[in-house]
């Protein structure tokens, strides 16, 4: 019987890459995101590799919609083995004292509260079955703040704390918890941060070969495919010329 993985924020970037990696390696996948048309297109592609795919269009910030989607799962999709809490992002790069209130709310509601909602909805079943794996997509930004990162860095610090806390809370079970902390990954991340300014976004990756969504998906798969007695608690993955969240050598 195939295992089931649920990936949030699966319409692009790291989330899409994780869904593809898991589908290609024998998982049936539930993909979630805000864009129904994009989810349907990805689902059709994943089915070509032999995976069963269920696409659920909702925003993790909408707790009622998320609850309805999970509680409404068909019986054959209920026993979720892997939860990849990927939905998230950064909005704005202003100094904290000039920050945009709406950007702050979006980051906190998505990166922290959305992750908590999905964890609360799915992990009780894992605990009851005494098996499962939660993978939270954090960031190197959660290790130390950088200029303009303030609230985003705080939300990813929260992801680390929530991952550590959950790992403690489920230590009496076989449920495992992993925090994946990427550095520079070239996805739609920077376009979102700069509110659609692609030229400014492209400058983030200038002079360095960044990571890709596929690189992060490989790390996710490494963690979930480890032997049952092995819990990969954290993975910090950086581009070769990136030493930390703020130290980058550019050619």
What is the C-alpha to C-alpha distance for residues 215 and 181, in angstroms, rounded to an integer? 12
- CA separation (Å) from 106 to 1, 15, 54, 178? 38, 18, 26, 24
**Which one is catalytic: 152, 205, 221, 222?**
152
CA nearest to 178, candidates 132, 244, 116 = 132
Q: Would residue 152 show up in a list of annotated catalytic residues for this protein?
A: yes
CA nearest to 1, candidates 79, 73, 74, 84 = 79
What is the C-alpha to C-alpha distance for residues 196 and 192, in angstroms, rounded to an integer? 6
DSSP H helices, the chain, are 13-24, 36-47, 63-71, 101-107, 115-129, 150-169, 189-193, 198-203, 213-224
- What radius of gyration, in Å, describes the C-alpha atoms of the chain? 17
What is the C-alpha to C-alpha distance for residues 203 and 130, in angstroms, rounded to an integer? 46
Q: Give ∠ CA 88-251-215 in degrees, rounded to 5.
A: 35
Q: Look-up: residue for tokens 């990162």?
A: 149
Q: Which residues are catalytic?
A: 152
């Amino acid at each position: 019987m195939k295992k089931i993985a649920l990936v949030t924020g699966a319409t692009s970037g790291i989330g899409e890459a994780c869904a593809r990696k898991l589908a290609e390696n024998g998982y049936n996948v539930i993909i979630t995101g805000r864009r129904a048309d994009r989810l349907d297109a990805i689902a059709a592609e994943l089915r070509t590799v032999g995976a069963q795919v269920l696409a659920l269009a909702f925003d993790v910030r909408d707790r009622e919609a998320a609850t309805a989607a999970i509680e409404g799962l068909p019986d054959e999709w209920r026993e979720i083995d892997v939860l990849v809490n990927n939905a998230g992002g950064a909005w704005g790069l202003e100094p904290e004292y000039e920050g945009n209130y709406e950007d702050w709310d979006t980051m906190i509601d998505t990166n922290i509260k959305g992750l908590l909602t999905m964890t609360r909805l799915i992990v009780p079943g894992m605990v009851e079955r005494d098996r499962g794996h939660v993978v939270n997509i954090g960031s190197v930004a959660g290790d130390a703040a950088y200029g303009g990162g303030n609230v985003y860095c705080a939300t990813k610090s929260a992801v680390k704390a929530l991952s550590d806390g959950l790992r403690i809370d489920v230590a009496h079970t076989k449920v495992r918890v992993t925090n994946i902390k990427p550095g520079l990954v070239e996805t739609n991340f920077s376009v979102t941060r700069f509110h659609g300014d692609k030229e400014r976004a492209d400058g983030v990756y200038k002079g360095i070969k960044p990571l890709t969504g596929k690189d992060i998906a490989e790390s996710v798969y490494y963690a979930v495919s480890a032997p049952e007695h092995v819990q990969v608690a954290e993975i910090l993955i950086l581009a070769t010329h990136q030493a930390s969240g703020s130290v980058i050598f550019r050619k």
